[in-house]
A and B are shown apart, each in its own frame.
Chain A
């Protein structure tokens, strides 16, 4: 594995299996009375979040704490960033404080990569712009393997605003690496033209795709990002691409429903559907901690070369 986790494209199938197997061991740690092991005692992990994301930050924080690392949460409101400090200066400050790993979320695609050129510690991409969100993809792969027993040959539809979704990109790359069959589903305005080069299929008719799926993965409609000009209206989107009870009935019996959260109930997913046993959102959250523990362990637990 590389020193950093920036993109799912950097991971081979072998790397993914190693990460998921390691996460499996950490799932067991999460069932103990004392959910903490001393593996990363004395190491410092910085959460550097330029965008709000309570769930991803908390998940990383818990993962680092369960490995006994010291955790610093550096959020941009009320900090030096609000006073105009550049990413580079912030990075150099964290470096000077001895950060062994920096978990970064940033609105600009490529910011984590830039960070690696300024710091010696490990960099983990917790979501950058519309580029990638590799830890979400890995926790999704873990959940799929746990629920369905395999990744190879799985038929997965990723439904929604693929164009602006770093989750969709990372998950597509990961699934294709592991030999799954991926179909991107959404209105033509929200599917990037270059997506065919990812090794996926494209379809615009959700109803035609549903009967052939093992997994229906719904993306969040990002109402807060003013991307509504891409669809006639939210209602129109929900009518064509929202997962309703009627549509769930078209899925094969064994098929599962996934969503990276937070959900817009009544838009991309109906409230009843979100609460079905085949909707595995809670497992995704629980597995997220184990997968992030595995990543921190594999990156920080490796010694050796100075970067």
Chain B
């Protein structure tokens, strides 16, 4: 069985709040760059940048990061994991990089993302924004900005749907 835990307006409000929190925490948008983790995080990062532009009138740079080559489970599935685009057309050094992902689960993706990011430069600090925190961490990682905490079973599936890819905005939990 599956349940919709966020609809389009829930997601919109959550992203607006996160945009405000990012600005508040960092004293404005000047040092901030957003890096979305492929494949849903990049869309969320673009939307956060849009909100920040509406609030502050400033364009913050947005990049997309594919962490596949930094995963700790390469060689453990039948096929090599598919690669996606990495496009970070700015220097991350001395900036505050806000990593953006759809769902925070074990924390392994974020660990890989931090390694990938530090190979690209030396950010002044890295922060983490996620739309959904579903718990079950396996690494000492905690988000700075959370859209919604969604308690789930270990084996449940949490899917974030975004208009541009999936045709609608929603967060759906499928219990195993």
Contact code string B131-165 (vs A, CB < 8 Å = 1, else 0)? 00000000000000000000000000000000000
Is A32 touching B119 in the complex (CB atoms < 8 A)?
A: yes
Q: Shortest Cβ distance from A158 into chain B, in angstroms?
A: 31
Does A297 reach chain B (CB closer than 8 Å)? Answer: yes
CB-defined contacts of A32 to chain B, threshold 8 Å: 119-120
Query: Interface-forming stretch among B1-9, B19-27, B29-37, B67-75?
Result: B67-75
Q: Complex formed: what's the CA distance from A300 to B81 in Å?
A: 11
Q: Shortest Cβ distance from B118 into chain A, in angstroms?
A: 9
Q: Shortest Cβ distance from A142 into chain B, in angstroms?
A: 15
Is B83 touching A38 in the complex (CB atoms < 8 A)?
A: no
Does B168 reach chain A (CB closer than 8 Å)? Answer: no
Q: Complex formed: what's the CA distance from A304 to B76 in Å?
A: 7
Does B174 reach chain A (CB closer than 8 Å)? Answer: no
Interface residues on chain B, number (Cβ under 8 Å): 22
Given A25-B84, A297-B80, CB of A34 within 8 Å of CB of B70: no
Q: Shortest Cβ distance from A149 into chain B, in angstroms?
A: 18
Is B79 touching A302 in the complex (CB atoms < 8 A)?
A: yes
Q: Shortest Cβ distance from B80 into chain A, in angstroms?
A: 3
Q: Complex formed: what's the CA distance from A47 to B121 in Å?
A: 32
Does B66 reach chain A (CB closer than 8 Å)? Answer: yes
Q: Which of B78, B115, B116, B119 has the most CB of A within 10 A?
A: B119
Q: Complex formed: what's the CA distance from A67 to B70 in Å?
A: 10
Given A37-B70, A38-B115, A39-B69, CB of A22 within 8 Å of CB of B75: no
Q: Complex formed: what's the CA distance from A117 to B139 in Å?
A: 42
CB-defined contacts of A26 to chain B, threshold 8 Å: 83
Is A38 touching B75 in the complex (CB atoms < 8 A)?
A: no
Q: Complex formed: what's the CA distance from A40 to B80 in Å?
A: 11
List which B78-124 residues lie within 8 A (CB) of chain A.
78-81, 83-87, 115-116, 119-121
Q: Shortest Cβ distance from A115 into chain B, in angstroms?
A: 21
CB-defined contacts of B76 to chain A, threshold 8 Å: 303
CB-defined contacts of A36 to chain B, threshold 8 Å: 119
CB-defined contacts of A40 to chain B, threshold 8 Å: 74
Is B69 touching A38 in the complex (CB atoms < 8 A)?
A: yes
Q: Complex formed: what's the CA distance from A303 to B86 in Å?
A: 24
Closest to B75 in A: A303
Is A28 touching B120 in the complex (CB atoms < 8 A)?
A: no
Is B120 touching A25 in the complex (CB atoms < 8 A)?
A: no
CB-defined contacts of A38 to chain B, threshold 8 Å: 69-70, 115
Is B80 touching A298 in the complex (CB atoms < 8 A)?
A: yes
Is A39 touching B74 in the complex (CB atoms < 8 A)?
A: yes
Contact code string A6-39 (vs B, CB < 8 Å = 1, else 0)? 0000000000000001100110110011101111
Is A302 touching B75 in the complex (CB atoms < 8 A)?
A: yes
Given A34-B119, A38-B69, A39-B69, CB of A25 within 8 Å of CB of B86: yes
Does A301 reach chain B (CB closer than 8 Å)? Answer: yes
Closest to B91 in A: A33
Given A38-B69, A303-B77, CB of A33 within 8 Å of CB of B86: no
Closest to B66 in A: A25
Q: Shortest Cβ distance from B14 into chain A, in angstroms?
A: 31
Q: Complex formed: what's the CA distance from A196 to B136 in Å?
A: 61
Q: Shortest Cβ distance from B27 into chain A, in angstroms?
A: 29
Is B81 touching A304 in the complex (CB atoms < 8 A)?
A: no
Q: Shortest Cβ distance from B71 into chain A, in angstroms?
A: 8
Q: Complex formed: what's the CA distance from A260 to B176 in Å?
A: 54
Contact code string B51-71 (vs A, CB < 8 Å = 1, else 0)? 000000000000000101110
Q: Complex formed: what's the CA distance from A302 to B116 in Å?
A: 21
Q: Complex formed: what's the CA distance from A26 to B80 in Å?
A: 14
Q: Which of B80, B86, B87 has the most CB of A within 10 A?
A: B80
Is A301 touching B75 in the complex (CB atoms < 8 A)?
A: yes
| Contacts A/B (CB < 8 Å), 11 sampled | A25-B85, A28-B87, A34-B120, A37-B69, A37-B119, A38-B70, A39-B69, A40-B74, A298-B80, A302-B77, A302-B80
List 5 additional contacts besides A25-B66, A29-B86; criterion CB under 8 Å.
A29-B69, A34-B119, A297-B80, A299-B80, A302-B80
Residues in chain B within 8 A of chain A (CB atoms)? 66, 68-70, 74-81, 83-87, 115-116, 119-121
